[in-house]
Amino acid sequence: MTTIASDTSYASARHFWLGMAAYIVPTFPVAFVWHLVLFEQRYHALGIYRADPIIPFGLASMIIQAGIFSWVFPRLFPRDRNSILKSGLLFGLAAGLLSWSFTTLAVAAKHPMSSITDYVVLESAFTLVQFLIVGPLMALAHRTSGIDRTMVS
């Protein structure tokens, strides 16, 4: 039994780190290009962002999010028999909706900006792109790591 628990522990840790990578590796470049290259002028026109963004803070935020999302995934989809794409898109929908609620709605509610509509459209599109990519990658990273409830009890 100890060997099995040890193997399960190793597999879970490995999948956790793969899940973190599944979040960070696509999110950082997509966010960087989206916010600071493709739509930089539109965000600047909104008047809500710093002229000199603090990139390490954004990366730290992504690392925290990655850890939480990677820890949550196997708990929402324990030993899921569905396809990676289906699990990933369902997870992306749930995680994306949560993320959208505090990165789009809450920011629009609290910060002065030249156009709430433009901000909501830009950030909604970003969140959609982000989680269409991240959801399936997270499912792929955790494809065999679902929590085995019989091992826990």
103-123 pLDDT, tens digit per residue, is 999 999 999 999 999 999 999
Q: What token pair was written down for 55? A: 């990139």
Highest mean pLDDT among 18-32, 49-63, 131-145 belongs to: 18-32
Residue 153, pLDDT > 50, answer: no
Residue 12, pLDDT > 60, answer: yes
For the chain, counts of helices (H) and of strands (E): 7, 0
Q: What token pair was written down for 135? A: 């959801």
Residue 89 CA neighbour count, 13 Å, CB half: 4
Residue 7, pLDDT > 90, answer: no
For residue 2, give the nearest of 142, 150, 151 by alpha carbon: 151
